[in-house]
């Protein structure tokens, strides 16, 4: 058993041992070991040439990563908070995402942008956002949201091997969670969803930390004889539409749960895919989305919890959808 953050560190270390073109770049990733301790020990293992501390300039970090990727390197850049992607949007959206297309496939941009995302740590409005829908909207970018240590290691391996820019979101509340993770190299293909819990009555498609909350909610709902299927897309781009559609056809109900603000969130994309698919005629109730409130993430712990879906919210949503009296919260 190792933690989510240790699994990420293992993936980075193994890939750096395997491929000398892989290197790390970012703020405080060397001596300090990263804002959340994920890169601790990698400077001693690989040296300052391959673990490069930078000034506090996200645009410079992203620009350097794009340039080095175009020359054949495979940079892994760390932005301490996913919110800071906003400072590097020109390099990310107008350069990294476009250059392979504009060069007719001749110029590859094989970089991985790692960023700590989400609320739950009291980091307040500028350090707690979930902005995955922004980057998922951009052609040329791939978007990954692992919810377990096992997935984090296998998906990061696949992301580093990919010849396209990949945004790799790591939820801050998941760093200390533990799971069984093989020590050796293994890879999880991008674009392959995982059914974390089999069920027959309703499908919950949840992302990142909401997968864990959905699983707790499912256990509570089981006491009411409600059998919940919890499906984790693992990657938003590419998205495993077939597995989602097959699950909804089986259960006849769909609840999509994400931490990001509901308005404009990726849940709307998942809902529309199902509504436009052969699963539509299997639905026995309208699709429901459960997301964050349209407010900046508050600093207050109680208000912070109120701003994003909690286990109780998931339980209540399922009960309402299925017309079950609320008794098990």
Q: Are 150 and 179 in contact (CB under 8 A)?
A: yes
> How wide is the angle at C-alpha 289 spanned by C-alphas 248 and 314, nearest 5°?
90
> Using CA atoms, how far apart are residues 277 and 223, in angstroms rounded to an integer?
32
State the catalytic residue, choosing from 103, 127, 137, 258: 127
H or E, element range at 79 = strand 74-79
* C-alpha atoms less than 13 angstroms from C-alpha of 136 in its C-beta half-sphere: 21
Find how far residue 101's CA is from the centre of its chain.
Answer: 25
Q: What is the pLDDT of residues 101-137, one digit of tens each?
A: 999 988 899 999 999 999 999 999 999 999 999 999 9
pLDDT at residue 246, rounded to an integer: 98
> Using CA atoms, how far apart are residues 124 and 298, in angstroms rounded to an integer?
5
Six-digit token string for 189: 């293909």
Question: Which DSSP category does 91 fall into?
Answer: I
pLDDT at residue 327, rounded to an integer: 58
Tell me, yes or no, if the pTM score tops 0.75.
yes
> How wide is the angle at C-alpha 56 spanned by C-alphas 82 and 122, nearest 5°?
45
Six-digit token string for 78: 């760390």
CA 38 vs CA 7, 43, 51, 115, 286: distances in Å:
9, 12, 13, 11, 41
Residue 86 CB contacts under 8 Å (≥ 6 apart), including other chains: 131
Q: What is the pLDDT of residues 63-80, one digit of tens each?
A: 999 999 999 999 999 999
Q: Are 129 and 144 in contact (CB under 8 A)?
A: no
> Using CA atoms, how far apart are residues 147 and 177, in angstroms rounded to an integer?
10
- 187-200: buried (b, 16+ CB within 10 Å) or exposed (e) per residue? ebebbebbebbebe
Question: Which DSSP category does 126 fall into?
Answer: T
- Helix %, strand %, coil % for the chain, to 5? 40, 20, 40
> Using CA atoms, how far apart are residues 316 and 283, in angstroms rounded to an integer?
19
> Using CA atoms, how far apart are residues 289 and 294, in angstroms rounded to an integer?
14
> Using CA atoms, how far apart are residues 329 and 306, in angstroms rounded to an integer?
16
Question: Which DSSP category does 50 fall into?
Answer: T
Question: Which DSSP category does 141 fall into?
Answer: -
Number of alpha helices (DSSP H) and beta strands (DSSP E) in the chain? 12, 14
> Using CA atoms, how far apart are residues 299 and 42, in angstroms rounded to an integer?
33
Task: For residue 103, indicate whether it is catalytic.
Answer: no
pLDDT at residue 324, rounded to an integer: 80
pLDDT at residue 325, rounded to an integer: 67
pLDDT at residue 326, rounded to an integer: 60
Question: Which DSSP category does 145 fall into?
Answer: -
Query: How long is the chain?
Result: 329
> Pick from 224, 225, 245, 216: which is nearest to 233 by CA?
245
> Pick from 78, 87, 85, 73: which is nearest to 36 by CA?
78
Q: Are 291 and 260 in contact (CB under 8 A)?
A: yes
- Regions in the chain scoring below 70 on pLDDT: 325-329
Q: What is the pLDDT of residues 297-322, one digit of tens each?
A: 999 999 999 999 999 999 999 999 99
Three-state DSSP at 75 gives: strand
């Amino acid at each position: 058993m190792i933690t989510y953050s240790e699994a990420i560190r293992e993936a980075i270390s193994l890939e750096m041992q395997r491929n000398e073109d892989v290197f790390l770049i970012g703020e405080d990733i060397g001596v300090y070991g990263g804002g959340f301790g994920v890169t601790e020990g990698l400077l001693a293992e690989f040296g300052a040439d391959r673990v490069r501390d930078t000034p506090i300039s996200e645009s410079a970090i992203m620009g350097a990563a794009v340039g080095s990727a175009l020359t054949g390197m495979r940079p892994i850049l760390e932005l301490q908070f996913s919110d800071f992607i906003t400072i590097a949007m020109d390099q990310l959206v107008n350069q990294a995402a476009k250059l392979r297309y504009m060069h007719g496939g001749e110029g590859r941009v094989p970089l991985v942008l790692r960023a700590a995302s989400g609320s739950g740590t009291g980091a307040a409005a500028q350090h707690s956002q979930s902005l995955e829908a922004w980057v998922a909207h951009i052609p040329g970018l791939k978007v990954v949201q692992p919810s377990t240590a096992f997935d984090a290691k296998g998906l990061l391996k696949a992301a580093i091997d990919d010849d396209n820019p990949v945004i790799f979101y790591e939820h801050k509340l998941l760093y200390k969670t533990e799971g069984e993770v093989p020590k050796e190299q293994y890879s999880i293909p991008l674009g392959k969803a995982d059914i974390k819990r089999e069920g027959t009555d309703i499908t919950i498609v949840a992302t990142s930390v909401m997968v864990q909350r959905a699983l707790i909610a499912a256990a509570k709902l089981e006491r009411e004889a409600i059998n919940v299927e919890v499906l984790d897309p693992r990657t938003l781009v590419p998205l495993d539409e077939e597995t989602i559609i097959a699950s909804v056809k089986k259960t006849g109900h769909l609840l999509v749960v994400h931490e990001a603000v509901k308005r404009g969130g990726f849940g709307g994309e998942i809902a529309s895919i199902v509504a436009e698919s052969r699963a539509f005629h299997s639905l026995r109730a309208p699709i429901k989305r459960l997301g964050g409130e349209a407010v900046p993430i508050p600093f207050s712990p109680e208000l912070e919890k109120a701003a994003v879906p909690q286990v109780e919210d998931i339980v209540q949503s399922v009960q309402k959808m299925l017309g079950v009296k609320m008794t098990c919260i």
